Amino acid sequence: MALPQYKQDFLHAAIQGGALRFGSFELKSKRISPYFFNAGDFFTLELHMPIADAYAHTIVAEAPEFDVIFGPAYKGIPLASTVLYALGRIDFAKYRNVAYSYDRKEAKDHGEGGTIVGSPLKGKRVLIIDDVVSAGTAKRQAIDMIRAQGGTVVGIVVALDRQETLPDGDGKTSAIGQLRKEYDIPILAIVKLNDIIAAGTKGVISDSDVIQRIQEYRAKYGASE
């Protein structure tokens, strides 16, 4: 089955722009990964449009109803506003009253003050948007922050699901899987590692050696939940 066009466009932009790179990369877990993804490299309009559109299409297809898109500082901040705009281009009538919000790393003690910028979160259904889930620590902090503001987290959307086990876990569960269990919320991704492998078999990624190394990495560290 072919990948949806928006996923293909996202992968193409990520590879061409260097946000998705192949080689040998040491992760925080000390694992040596054959690929590395950094959403911070989507800093030109040419690259930012495909990722914003891909997030929006993922949300339209899979996300529950929500009132606010929340982008955790820092990478989530530009994503929150641009993805809301992309949603408006797809279905303005449906999303016209949806708002966005983000946090400050340090509370502001003058002007409007506080740690939250944008829409108030009290009584709102909140969808978190970010680049990836690593250990899940940052997402837990975001959930706690939103709850402290009186909001309800209804889901999380990220760009990439690595589909790999936690270094200190049970050998079966990924960081995303662990968060799903803890909070009982959907956690969506534009693409998963399996999609990258599938892209290789469909010619979106032309280097067969790269795909083979990724398949070997998946066999060694892949989550089974």
Tell which residue, 20, 7, 34, 6, has the closest CA to residue 198.
7
Q: 110 an active-site residue?
A: yes
Q: In this structure, are residues 217 and 225 in contact, taking their beta carbons and an 8 Å threshold? A: no
Provide CB contacts within 8 A for 168, sequence distance 6+. Answer: none
The catalytically annotated residue of 48, 94, 110, 202 is 110
CA 204/CA 44 separation, integer angstroms: 22
Q: In this structure, are residues 190 and 55 in contact, taking their beta carbons and an 8 Å threshold? A: yes
Q: What are phi and psi of 136, to 5 degrees?
A: 95, -5
Report the Cα–Cα distance between both ends of the chain, in Å, rounded. 22
The catalytically annotated residue of 30, 48, 108, 181 is 108
The residues that are catalytic are 108, 110
